[in-house]
Amino acid sequence: MAERDDAIINRHLAILLVAGWVLSLAACGHLGQQTVSPATSSGGRSGQDDAALAKRNEVVLFALALIDTGYRFGGKNPEAGLDCSGMVSYIFEKAIAVKLAGSAADIARVGRPIELSALQSGDLVFFNTRHQHFSHVGIYIGEGRFIHAPSTTGRVRTDSLQSGWFASRLEAARTLLD
């Protein structure tokens, strides 16, 4: 029952995030630039243009559409199931035509390191979940949350960077989007 409640909460969070982005775009007519911290917002880095922000939004919207997709170790597409690195690779290729391959650690090697305090939507967050650096990866979606494919629940979901099991295992952030 708790898993079902979590899935409902995740779906509602996704709907609210998408609705918020749509309303902000409709109200402003363009993507604004904001200062960001992982606990507050998903806006842009200073000097970032609308095209870069649009790519970030594509990544996040594509990721949110995968909530509740089944987990499968080594999975690289939603039909068969996704693992964490397969989910990230699939999203980046389909949303913005960036090809990635390999494990979470392999993906970490291609990303540019960024401070956790500089996280923006679409950036990657890495965790030490098996006493091994970069053993899990997710995509930061804003508001201190990330989306990932954890094996423990069997479904793609969102979690908090500030609380819960993953918070104490967060080790690094990387970007592929600047």
Paired tokens of 123: 């950036």
Measured between alpha carbons, how far is 66 from 157 in angstroms, rounded to an integer? 8
Tokens 């409640």 belong to 5
More confident of the two residues 123 and 28: 123
Q: What is the mean pLDDT of the chain?
A: 81
Predicted confidence (pLDDT) per residue in 80-103, tens digit: 999 999 999 999 999 999 999 999
pTM above 0.85, yes or no: no
Q: What angle do CA 157, 177, 26 make, to 5 degrees?
A: 70
Per-residue pLDDT, averaged over 45-74, amounts to: 90
What confidence tens digit (pLDDT) does each residue in 128-168 have? 998 999 999 999 999 999 999 998 778 999 999 999 999 99
Closest to 68 (Cα-Cα) out of 155, 160, 158, 159: 155
The full set of domains in the chain, from first to last, is 2-175 (3.90.1720.10)
Which residues are tagged catalytic?
Answer: 84, 136, 148
Predicted confidence at residue 138, as pLDDT, reads 98
In the prediction, which pLDDT does 91 show? 98
pLDDT at res. 65: 97
